[in-house]
Amino acid sequence: MERLGDELASIDLGDKRLNKRAVLLAERMAAAPTKSIPFACHGWAETQAAYRFLHTEGIDAWSILDPHILCTERRMRACPVVLCLQD
């Protein structure tokens, strides 16, 4: 699997700092998927930055997921058959 930084390389939240914060937060949460934001982040400053990021006007789940969806579609096109299973 690609690194999250690669997966979100095309993210465009209108500011390079926001793009960088999105990647860092995604990496932190992926490394500790069962943890809360304060426990997944490395320190109080990073936790505060994560909450500020999540409350930024104009940023929603789709603006973060779009680059991931595009990468997923690209990988799927490279395969003759793709099974999309759910439980």
Query: pLDDT tens, 29-85?
Result: 999 999 999 999 999 999 999 999 999 999 998 998 999 899 999 999 999 999 989
Average pLDDT of the segment spanning 8-31 = 92
* The one-letter amino acid at 50: A
Look up the domain containing 68 and give its range.
4-77
Backbone φ, ψ for residue 65 (5° rounding): -80, -25
Q: pLDDT at position 9, please?
A: 86
The answer to whether residue 3 scores a pLDDT higher than 90 is no
Contact 54, 36 (CB under 8 A): no
What is the reported pTM? 0.80
Instruction: Say if 42 falls within a structural domain.
Output: yes
Instruction: Say if 56 falls within a structural domain.
Output: yes
Q: How far is CA 16 from the centre of its chain?
A: 14
How many domains are contained in the chain? 1
